[in-house]
Amino acid sequence: MFRNPRRATLLLAAGAGAAAAGGLLDRRDPATAITVSASTPLRHLLSTASTGLLSGNPLFSPWQGRFPVLISFASALVPPTDLSNQGSGGNSDHSRCLSRNSIAEAAAAVGPSVVNISFVQETQWAQSKSIGSGTIIDPDGTILTCAHLVADTESTKAVLSGKVTVTLQDGREFEGVVLNADCHSDIAIVKIKSSTPLPAARLGSSSKILPGEWVVALGSPLCLQNTVTAGIVSCVDRKSSDLGLGGIRREYIQTDCAINVGNSGGPLANLDGEIIGVNVLKAKSGNGLGFAVPIDSTVKIMEHFKKNGRAVHPWLGLKMLDLKPTIIAQLKERSSSFPDVRKGVLVSVVTPGCPAERAGFAPGDVVTEFDGKPVESVKEIIDIMWDKVGRQFKVLVQRANNLATDDRASDVD
């Protein structure tokens, strides 16, 4: 930072002089110390230069042996009182502060594990080709990507036949095999064989991310490999219904990272270089609207792949709404018969013939307990049912005029 050693000397001299001038320094008190806080670029310079400057410069000779200098380094972007690890994986505070190289460091950590995937499928009448991205998540060649890249999402049964070509960042090409694909979640697993271990990305936790947090998207948009874009998290739990998507309820991480055709299946990473999502969607009618499947949900899908060979999704047949205090107050104003509850989940629609209807659910019910556990959100109910397809659950609901009832519902695939 300082090319002139005299300027560096004067910086340290100013700290000593300021303390002495105000009468704050007792030269005979060995406990007296001066704390010099420096920004990150100065840390290395000051730590290596301070000893030589103090011992060899006459400006400091009056205090040699009696004037202890304590050099405390704190980043200019992080308050000295808050230097604890703040990253989503608990490894660093990068996710909470942005330095000059934060994005570059995250991209460098994830980049070697990002691959380009080409899927060619031939039918009796034509040949189709799709190109996207993926992430190596295990040195053995296991690759995480999206299902719509390597499977037939329009069919009731995913078609996994076709030629998969995987190109690594260093240019090596491998033939891949689609092991599993789940069209509901849009998650798939591809496997390649290599004689040597491959670079694998670290998986983070999507439950710890916050709106406004910096993230990085990597992939091969428009076949341009090794492309890095950055942005922030716009929403941590964008509902599939908000996007006009039917079927099983899903949640996405919304981001304003530049996402284009070819990014599908690529990773969304935090500034710690951890994967927190799989990029799968982009809004056609607007820029800066990209969506990724949260990594926590993806990990559950992969666990189903290992356990069952496929993903199993619970279904009750209910459309539900999280009840917040403001919504409860508004509903009570509209109807005096609305149940006297402080929290819960409101049932707005019951699908005819669904497991919930057979159990006795009705529109207007407020679910307060599910499987013996208090619930405040639809997500909590889904998490309880996640790997328990086919079993019965005891559900406590509150109805109009504060009538309570126990319903039993059996969720099905």
DSSP secondary structure string, 116-141? Answer: EEEEEEE-SS-EEEEEEEEEEEETTT
Question: Does residue 197 lie within any of the structural domains?
Answer: no
For residue 77, the model assigns a pLDDT of 38
- Whether 240 and 263 map to the same domain: the answer is yes
Helix H or strand E segment including 73:
strand 69-73
- Whether 304 and 208 map to the same domain: the answer is yes
- Whether 367 and 275 map to the same domain: the answer is no
Question: Does residue 85 lie within any of the structural domains?
Answer: no
- In the numeric block, the tokens 């069209």 are attached to 183
Q: Which of these, 205, 192, 94, lies nearest to 135 by C-alpha position?
A: 192
Q: Which residue segment(s) compose the domain that 242 sits in?
A: 202-308
For residue 379, the model assigns a pLDDT of 85
- Whether 303 and 324 map to the same domain: the answer is no
DSSP summary character for residue 199? P
For residue 95, the model assigns a pLDDT of 45
pLDDT digits (tens, 9 = 90+) for 110-133: 999 999 999 988 776 777 888 999
Write the CATH number for 229. Answer: 2.40.10.10
- Cα–Cα distances in Å, from 382 out to 318, 375, 377? 11, 10, 9
- Whether 30 and 62 map to the same domain: the answer is yes
Q: Which of these, 164, 282, 194, 184, lies nearest to 234 by C-alpha position?
A: 282
- Whether 208 and 300 map to the same domain: the answer is yes
Asked if residue 91 lies in contact with residue 85, where contact means CB atoms within 8 angstroms, the answer is yes
For residue 256, the model assigns a pLDDT of 94
Write the CATH number for 402. Answer: 2.30.42.10
- Whether 207 and 300 map to the same domain: the answer is yes
Mean pLDDT of the chain: 77
- Whether 211 and 300 map to the same domain: the answer is yes
Helix H or strand E segment including 307:
helix 295-308
Please tell me the distance from the alpha carbon of residue 228 to that of residue 374, in angstroms, as a whole number: 43
Please tell me the distance from the alpha carbon of residue 181 to that of residue 161, in angstroms, as a whole number: 12
Pairing of strands 344-350, 366-370: antiparallel
For residue 81, the model assigns a pLDDT of 38
Question: Does residue 273 lie within any of the structural domains?
Answer: yes
Question: Does residue 83 lie within any of the structural domains?
Answer: no
Question: Does residue 375 lie within any of the structural domains?
Answer: yes
- Whether 21 and 39 map to the same domain: the answer is yes
Residues 6+ away with beta carbon under 8 Å from 20 = none
The last residue of one of the domains, among 162, 191, 220, is 191
Find the Cα–Cα–Cα–Cα dihedral 51, 53, 54, 56, rounded to 10°: 110
- Whether 228 and 303 map to the same domain: the answer is yes
Please tell me the distance from the alpha carbon of residue 204 to that of residue 296, in angstroms, as a whole number: 8
- Cα–Cα distances in Å, from 215 out to 6, 107, 137, 405, 412? 41, 10, 19, 45, 36
Please tell me the distance from the alpha carbon of residue 300 to that of residue 278, in angstroms, as a whole number: 14
Please tell me the distance from the alpha carbon of residue 121 to that of residue 123, in angstroms, as a whole number: 7
Is the sign of the CA dihedral 126, 131, 135, 140 positive or negative?
Answer: positive
Please tell me the distance from the alpha carbon of residue 169 to that of residue 112, in angstroms, as a whole number: 6
The last residue of one of the domains, among 191, 213, 232, is 191
For residue 39, the model assigns a pLDDT of 53
Please tell me the distance from the alpha carbon of residue 18 to that of residue 10, in angstroms, as a whole number: 12
The last residue of one of the domains, among 166, 191, 216, is 191
Question: Does residue 92 lie within any of the structural domains?
Answer: no
Please tell me the distance from the alpha carbon of residue 186 to that of residue 311, in angstroms, as a whole number: 11
- Whether 329 and 271 map to the same domain: the answer is no
Pairing of strands 34-38, 69-73: parallel
DSSP secondary structure string, 343-374? Answer: SEEEEEEE-TTSHHHHHT--TT-EEEEETTEE
Please tell me the distance from the alpha carbon of residue 129 to that of residue 6, in angstroms, as a whole number: 65
Residue type, 252: Y
Helix H or strand E segment including 60:
none
- Whether 172 and 207 map to the same domain: the answer is no
Question: Does residue 82 lie within any of the structural domains?
Answer: no
Find the Cα–Cα–Cα–Cα dihedral 169, 174, 175, 178, rounded to 10°: -50
Question: Does residue 124 lie within any of the structural domains?
Answer: yes
Give the chain's domain count: 4
Give the catalytic positions in this structure: 148, 186, 264
Residues 6+ away with beta carbon under 8 Å from 195 = none
Calculate Rg over the CA atoms of the chain: 29
For residue 408, the model assigns a pLDDT of 56
Q: Which of these, 92, 154, 89, lies nearest to 128 by C-alpha position?
A: 154
- Cα–Cα distances in Å, from 192 out to 44, 118, 147, 200? 43, 13, 17, 13
For residue 118, the model assigns a pLDDT of 92
Q: What are the pLDDT tens digits along the chain (413 aa)? A: 444 444 443 343 333 333 334 433 344 444 444 444 555 555 554 454 444 444 444 433 333 333 333 333 333 333 433 433 444 444 444 445 678 899 999 999 999 999 999 998 877 677 788 899 999 999 999 999 999 998 876 654 555 567 899 999 999 999 999 999 998 899 999 999 999 999 999 999 999 899 999 999 999 888 888 899 999 999 998 888 788 787 777 899 999 999 888 899 999 999 999 999 999 998 877 788 999 999 999 999 999 899 888 888 888 888 888 999 999 999 999 988 898 899 999 999 998 988 889 989 999 999 999 999 999 998 889 888 877 777 888 999 999 876 666 665 554 44
